[in-house]
Structure 1
Amino acid sequence: MKTSLEISTAGGATFANCNSQGSPLFRVNAGISCEEALEQASLLMDCINKLTLRGGMENENGTVVWAAHYLGEMAKALIDDVATGLQVAQGGGA
């Protein structure tokens, strides 16, 4: 029987910075399975690919571009937090 190490998100990555101080509006939650987090990041990246293709084919006054931008921020935060979780699991700290 193969034993797998459960690695989870660290909960430190943020996205959607706002206001003049650049305060983050959202944060990746700690304790989410890295496998599930990467699955969500993959789904977000699929949406980004579809939106940017559509944006390249049509001119919608930037609506599609902004949607892709926010989805990209979310996907990046998930991937960054998974990387931190992997470092913690390997004993490297956060």
Structure 2
Amino acid sequence: MTKIDSRSAAKLKTIGFTPLIYCSDNPLFHVSRNVPLVDALSMASDFLFLAKGLTQDAAYARDSDRHAWAAHYLTQMGKALVDDVVKVLEPAPARTQAEPKK
């Protein structure tokens, strides 16, 4: 695993490549680019914390599924943020073809 200098890590930002919540095979939303990774991960943590509470409520609420749907969307949002951060932190894929010699 490649180590990242904490000073350079503070400058890393989301790339905005991750879509979420699809309708008719088209993403309705995507992660915004240029959000500092620390802020994106903090927001993902908040989304997942809220989703956890809503799923507990959904387990006991028999009259409505609104808690479950809210948790579903918050979970998708949290996952998209984490996926976008991972895309920034992953090393670039190795080239499959050798570069031409000069």
TM-score (norm 1): 0.85
For residues 81 and 6 of structure 2, the distance between their equivalents in structure 1, rounded to whole angstroms, comes to: 25
Where do 4+ consecutive residues of structure 1 move more than 3 Å? Answer: none
For structure 1, which runs of at least 5 residues remain unmatched after alignment?
A: none
TM-score (norm 2): 0.78
CA RMSD of aligned residues (A): 1.6
For residues 3 and 26 of structure 1, the distance between their equivalents in structure 2, rounded to whole angstroms, comes to: 30
Percent identity, aligned pairs only, is: 31
Give the aligned length. 87
Residues 17-50 of structure 1, C-alpha deviation per residue, up to 9 Å, x if partnerless?
002xx10000101111100000000000011011
Aligned to 2:55, the other structure's residue is in SS state helix
For structure 2, which runs of at least 5 residues remain unmatched after alignment?
A: 94-102
Residues 40-84 of structure 1, C-alpha deviation per residue, up to 9 Å, x if partnerless?
000000110110011112223311111111111100000000001
Which structure has the greater CA radius of gyration? 2
